[in-house]
Structure 1
Amino acid sequence: MASPAFATYPSLKDRTVFITGGASGIGATFVQAFHDQGAKAAFVDLDETAGQALAGKLGQNAWFRRCDVTDAEALQVAIDEAAKALGPITVLINNVANDTRQDPAKVTAEVWRKGLAVNLDPAFIASTAVYPMMKAAGGGSIVNLSSINAILAPGELPTYSAAKGAINALSKSLARAWGVDRIRVNALSPGWVITPRQLELWLTPQAEADWEKLTALKDRILPEDIARAALFLASDDSRMMTGQNLIVDAGRT
């Protein structure tokens, strides 16, 4: 089998993209992928060391700020600063999340609220922050990272699964509200993406074998596979797609 050749999207060149949780994992792959397309990539993360390193590697048209996305005001300020530095944001990738395993019986009200504060709230706060500039620009694309766990809802991920289910509903709601402004809002649902975090914490030979029994495609899902789907949803190639949930899970669901 020949090596695959992947698409270039001319419509993404020079667009300003804002990505939450962009310093590592899938988020860093998003930043790299959009930058490679000629877009201006702004991103935020709590990990200042990794964020600065990535921005330094990319150089021109990359912008990073340390930001706690659970602080709504700080996230709004970061979005405004990114727009001042790189131009109005017309692509938003709501990527940030935390999939720490939990025992539902031990999840306190405080832990529940903190889980939603990182897995759900930033998607709404960032979307409403970029809305005025997307409307003024004549349109834009918002991609909200969901998960197949919104459908499968494993028992050890109650807060995460609930938040991702809400992300799907939020995407449809905003798509209907903002379609008149040519702002498209879609969800992107990965399956089990093999990141350094997964390799460190949860990927064992047995877990991977069990996963492969449930999938149609037996190759590992990589961050690059999710980034390529995000590029498509952000580009004009998907101009008539909105309110949808694009699943990239090797045929698991």
Structure 2
Amino acid sequence: MSDKVVLITGGSSGIGKAIGSYLKQKGYRVYGTTRSISAHPDFNDFPLLELDVREPKSIQTAIHRLLEKEGRVDVLINNAGVGITGPLEETPENAIMNAFDINFHGPLRMTKAVLPQMRKQKNGLIINITSIAGYMGLPYRGIYSASKGALELVSEALRMEVRSFGITVANLAPGDYATNIAAGRFHTAASKDSPYTTYADTLNALNDDVDQGGDPIEVAKSILKIIAHPSPKIHYKVGAFLQKTSVSLKRLLPQKVFEKMLLKHYKL
């Protein structure tokens, strides 16, 4: 059991809710965030703070309220994210910017907001929920892959920068899990006039992968192992065997061979 204070962005649904509920059962003092508390009137799994990772003032207000209540923050889990699909050529610029604002800049803003308190405590743990997609450029998911891949890399640098303060940074890259992420994803419309004729079929396949994904409790259990470990490493992965193995295959196989595997998988 632990009385550590855990803050989870995007905690009102999906993977974030699964993580929060599981950690609360294990004795952690859990707080989640959501952009609109009024949108979740019946949520009682754990306390929610209103917070939008795109808005610095919103972040500062929420962190201030948390510290007023608890006086500390031991673990930050940067989970809030947004999916985005579409041919790069046809994906609107504002959709690309929004995806990076939430998936990359959002975790950076959150990290900056908690670091002063963690330095004061002389300890803390920051876990970034990335994606196995962040290890490779996937067709029609290039923006999503890039935003998560960027978070993986910046975490490596941050980990070394804050090590001397007693703060640890780790990434957890999930594969596909059965959540509502597809419903909130931005997807470029599959136009009949588009030259990217394979996009519609690929989009359907992506949605099927999510619907057939694993139970988010697997992610929650992986998070607990990271928190409980005395010296967490930087990169963790959780998901179906083939999804996790694909990361190793990309590193081991010749580039063109791996590319052919992806083309075959997505029927391109």
TM-score by length of 1: 0.80
Q: Distance in 1 between matches of 2:17 and 2:40?
A: 9
Whose radius of gyration is greater, 1 or 2?
A: 2
> 1:76–1:159: structure 2 CA closer, same or farther, 3 Å change rule?
farther
Q: Which residue of 1 aligns with 2:7?
A: 18
State the Cα distance separating 1:65 from its structure 2 match.
2.1
Q: Which residue of 2 aligns with 1:214?
A: none
State the Cα distance separating 1:231 from its structure 2 match.
1.2
Tell me the alpha carbon deviations over residues 99-120 of structure 1, each in whole angstroms, 9 at most, x when there is no partner.
1322211223322211111111
State the Cα distance separating 1:234 from its structure 2 match.
1.9
Q: How does 1:202-241 map to 2 (within 5 A)?
A: 207=205, 220-235=213-228, 238-241=229-232
Q: Distance in 2 between matches of 1:46 and 1:199?
A: 16
Q: How does 1:77-226 map to 2 (within 5 A)?
A: 77-198=61-182, 207=205, 220-226=213-219
Q: Which residue of 1 aligns with 2:193?
A: none
**2:232 aligned partner, one-letter code:** M
Secondary structure in 1 matching 2:47: strand
User: Is this contact kept in 2: 1:19–1:43, CA < 8 A?
Assistant: yes
Secondary structure in 2 matching 1:234: helix
**1:247 aligned partner, one-letter code:** K
Does 2:237 match 1:247? yes
> 1:157–1:166: structure 2 CA closer, same or farther, 3 Å change rule?
same
> 1:27–1:159: structure 2 CA closer, same or farther, 3 Å change rule?
same
**1:146 aligned partner, one-letter code:** T
Q: How many equivalent residue pairs?
A: 225
**Structure 1 runs not aligned, ≥5 long:** 1-9, 212-218
Structure 1, 106-115 or 73-82: larger mean CA deviation? 106-115
**2:218 aligned partner, one-letter code:** D
TM-score by length of 2: 0.76
**2:71 aligned partner, one-letter code:** G
Secondary structure in 2 matching 1:14: coil
Q: Which residue of 2 aligns with 1:67?
A: 51
User: Is this contact kept in 2: 1:51–1:66, CA < 8 A?
Assistant: no
User: Is this contact kept in 1: 2:8–2:16, CA < 8 A?
Assistant: yes
Q: How does 1:29-48 map to 2 (within 5 A)?
A: 29-48=18-37
User: Is this contact kept in 1: 2:83–2:181, CA < 8 A?
Assistant: no
Identical columns (%): 24
State the Cα distance separating 1:176 from its structure 2 match.
0.2
Q: Distance in 2 between matches of 1:15 and 1:52?
A: 26
User: Is this contact kept in 2: 1:194–1:221, CA < 8 A?
Assistant: yes
User: Is this contact kept in 2: 1:144–1:186, CA < 8 A?
Assistant: yes
Q: CA RMSD in A?
A: 2.6
**Structure 2 runs not aligned, ≥5 long:** 186-199, 247-268
